[in-house]
Amino acid sequence: MPAKALFWGAAWGLGEATLGHVLHLARVPGLPGLVMASFAVVIMGRLAARSSGAGAIVIAGVAAASFKFLDLLVPGTDVLALVNPIQAILLEALAGAVWVRSRMGTLLFIDNGRSRKTETSPFLKRPHFLTTDRS
């Protein structure tokens, strides 16, 4: 598990350090957060499908946040400018881990190389207010 988490964390961190830095230089309000949060969700989803625990997502988030410090090698980058993206990465990882932990038994996950499905996905169920049975 740690090897997969570090691999996906490195991919997430390199994406944050390169694409995130370029998007922040563009100075378009909200664009870096929108693009990089979507990128983080894709990475966390791939990692959740390939690992068996929510701890892997936290490890990947810490690895990704440490890669963000590579932006200090770019001239003109301030340490204080890195604080918000690093906090965002760590909070995204925490939120992803909580989501995976809460949904681990309801969605399709890989368990020791074999797929298993424990119950119907909650997204396929009808909301309670659409059911006709009022008992």
pLDDT beyond 90 at 90? yes
pLDDT band for position 68 (50/70/90)?
A: confident
Per the model's pLDDT, the better-predicted residue between 117 and 100 turns out to be 100
| Least confident stretch, 47-51, 79-83, 101-105 | 101-105
pLDDT at 72: 83
Length of the chain equals: 135
